[in-house]
């Protein structure tokens, strides 16, 4: 994983919108987190974890981040909205139309003002240390990845099989044993 492309996406001066359907883990979370606004399908599945570009505390707040990453469980689109990662949730068949309608409304605004609004929000995050934190956690992740067995690699036994990741497999098991 490379930090630079995700930071470049985050810093596009125009508003950006993500539409999430299905699983949103690892690179998908990092990509969605690089956008300004996130729309999600009701049945989308999110897994906040300590991945290489660790924006989770910035996305949902420090205490909520700790609560969720310690528990290592998937959350659905509604829960992702409750914690502030997602701004709107719609049925899967309506999500793209809702996101496009929002984008059309936003595009009617003055482009310079939109750019300045985005700049001001990013400037606030920079004063709080956003980029320094992201770069530091990225370096930590690279060291951790080089010194731990992060993945269960079925590909070594059978190249046609997908790679399984421990945190995802644990989250799947946690979902199956979730308390009612």
- Determine contact, residues 40/80, Cβ cutoff 8 Å: yes
Q: What is the CATH number of domain 3-176?
A: 3.90.226.10
Owner of token pair 């320094």: 132
pLDDT band at residue 173 under the 50/70/90 scheme: confident
pLDDT of 54 reads 85
Alpha carbon distance 8, 14 (integer Å)? 12
Strand-pair category, 17-20 with 37-41:
parallel
Alpha carbon distance 140, 175 (integer Å)? 28
Q: Residue 102 pLDDT more than 60?
A: yes
Alpha carbon distance 114, 62 (integer Å)? 28
**Prediction pTM value:** 0.80
Average pLDDT over residues 159-175: 70
pLDDT band at residue 6 under the 50/70/90 scheme: confident
Q: Which residues pair with 24 in a beta bridge?
A: 46
- Determine contact, residues 126/134, Cβ cutoff 8 Å: no
pLDDT of 140 reads 76
Q: Which region among 6-20, 25-39, 48-62, 103-117 has the lowest average model confidence (pLDDT)? A: 48-62
pLDDT of 115 reads 96
pLDDT of 133 reads 83
Alpha carbon distance 179, 13 (integer Å)? 43
pLDDT of 88 reads 98
pLDDT of 37 reads 98
The pLDDT tens digits for 135-163 are: 888 887 777 666 655 455 455 566 666 66
Own/partner pairs, 5-13, CB within 8 angstroms, 24+ separation: 6/30, 6/31, 6/33, 6/34, 6/53, 7/34, 7/131, 7/134, 9/34, 9/35, 10/34, 10/35, 10/122, 11/122, 13/115, 13/118, 13/119
Domain boundaries, the chain: 3-176
Q: Which region among 57-61, 92-96, 108-112 has the lowest average model confidence (pLDDT)? A: 57-61
Q: Residue 1 pLDDT more than 60?
A: no
Supply the Cα-derived Rg of the chain in whole angstroms: 17
The pLDDT tens digits for 48-70 are: 887 777 888 999 999 999 999 99
């Amino acid at each position: 994983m490379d930090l630079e492309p995700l930071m470049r996406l985050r810093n596009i001066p125009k508003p950006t919108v993500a539409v999430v359907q299905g699983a949103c883990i690892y690179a998908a979370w990092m990509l969605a987190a690089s956008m300004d606004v996130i729309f999600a399908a009701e049945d989308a599945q999110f897994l906040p974890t300590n991945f290489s570009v660790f924006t989770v505390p910035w996305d949902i707040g420090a205490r909520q981040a700790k609560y969720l990453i310690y528990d290592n469980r998937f959350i659905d689109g509604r829960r992702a909205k409750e914690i502030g990662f997602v701004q709107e949730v719609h049925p899967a068949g309506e999500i793209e139309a809702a996101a496009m309608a929002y984008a059309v409304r936003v595009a009617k605004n003055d482009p310079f003002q939109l750019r300045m609004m985005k700049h001001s929000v990013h400037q606030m995050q920079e004063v709080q240390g956003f980029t320094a934190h992201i770069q530091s956690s990225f370096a930590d992740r690279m060291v951790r990845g080089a010194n731990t067995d992060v993945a269960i690699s079925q590909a070594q036994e059978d190249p046609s099989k997908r790679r399984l990741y421990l945190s995802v497999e644990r989250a799947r098991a946690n979902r199956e044993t979730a308390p009612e």
